[in-house]
Amino acid sequence: MQALIAAGRLHTVCQEARCPNLWECYARNTATFLILGDRCTRDCRFCAVGHGAPAPPDPGEPDRVARAAAEMGLAYVVLTSVTRDDLADGGAAHFAATIAAVRRRLPRARVEVLIPDFQGNPEALAAVIAAGPDVINHNIETVPRLYPRVRPQADYRRSLQLLARVAASGIPAKSGLMLGLGEDEEEVCTVLEDLRAAGCRILTLGQYLQPTPAHLPVVSWVTPEGFEAWRRRALALGFDEVAAAPLVRSSYHADECFQALER
């Protein structure tokens, strides 16, 4: 997988974000493609992805991603990106072009996109929705009280509004939180209720892990039993599918979450 990704001059969030599940997913022949470069215009304090001035979008990337996905024989393709606040549409047109390229090469494959907030730009989101992905994921990441410390350039209400627009389009909306950054139980419950009220159907919950000493420290550890309790509470709130465990990440076993939703 690594050779194929390198040969395609591609990035995966698996590698860039130092995901602990990389070996398992690569061995399962799955990966989450990181489009629009590996330099993010934001600086979330939990994220290992590189920051700084990104290069212009590469017009050849959509087809390279589609070719790599076809070579991997993927039935479920996940696309994500860094946040490109330097672009008027936040990179939405590039997402749409990549979805279309994958659809051309793999007409039977399912496509999930994990998108940034496009700074709340409704036209940008509409362009991604119009490209017709099977699932649209946008992470809420943590509780609103922690936003200034954890993801200072993001906005909790803006993210909820984006998820509500996705749900209104009929495309399943998905979101996720990291636990262990200092949130309390009541705050997590409120976020789960807000996500449900926005129409979110799929949820991921995982343990925050500190990528480097320069990133935020882990404040608390949630046990596997604790995650199971959260999974049951979220299902009781009406989520169709919940993946909750210490090493669960946004796209971890994303195909299985979607199949469960279909069932």
Q: What residues contact 8, with CB distance under 8 A and at least 6 apart?
A: 64, 65, 67, 68
- Considering only residues 19, 35, 44, 209, which one is a binding residue for ligand SF4 as defined by CB under 6 A? 44
Provide the pairing of β-strand 11-12 with 32-35. Answer: antiparallel
Report residue 169 as tokens: 């389009």
Q: Is 92 a residue that touches ligand SF4 (CB under 6 A)? A: no
Residue 111 token pair: 């496509």
Of 157-196, binders to ligand SF4 (CB under 6 A) are none
Please select the residue that binds ligand SF4; options are 14, 82, 131, 181, rule is CB under 6 A.
Answer: 82
Q: Is 49 in the site for ligand SF4 (CB under 6 A)?
A: yes
**Range in contact with ligand SF4 (rule: CB under 6 A) among 44-52, 162-170, 192-200, 221-229:** 44-52
Find the farthest-apart pair of alpha carbons in the chain and give their distance in angstroms, rounded.
47
For the chain, how far is it from start to end, CA to CA, in angstroms? 30
Query: Could you tell me how many residues of this chain bind ligand SF4 (CB under 6 A)?
Result: 10
Least Å distance, CB 228 to ligand SF4, is 26
Q: Which of these, 261, 173, 239, 244, lies nearest to 204 by C-alpha position?
A: 244
Instruction: Calculate the alpha carbon distances from 140 to 57, 176, 200, 204 in Å.
Output: 25, 6, 11, 10
d(C-alpha 163, C-alpha 115), whole Å: 10
142 lies in the binding site for ligand SF4 (CB under 6 A): no
Report in angstroms how near the CB of residue 47 gets to ligand SF4 at its nearest.
Answer: 3
- What's the closest the beta carbon of residue 137 comes to ligand SF4, in angstroms? 12
Residue 109 · residue 232 · CB < 8 Å: no
- Which range in 39-47, 159-167, 177-185, 240-248 contacts ligand SF4 by CB under 6 A? 39-47
Question: Which H or E element spans position 167?
Answer: helix 156-169
* CB closer to ligand SF4, 42 vs 67: 42
By CB under 6 A, is residue 114 in contact with ligand SF4? no
Question: Is residue 222 within 8 Å of 189, Cβ to Cβ?
Answer: no
Task: Say whether residue 127 binds ligand SF4 (CB under 6 A).
Answer: no
83 binds ligand SF4 (CB under 6 A): yes
Residues that bind ligand SF4 (CB under 6 A): 40, 42-44, 47, 49, 82-83, 116, 151
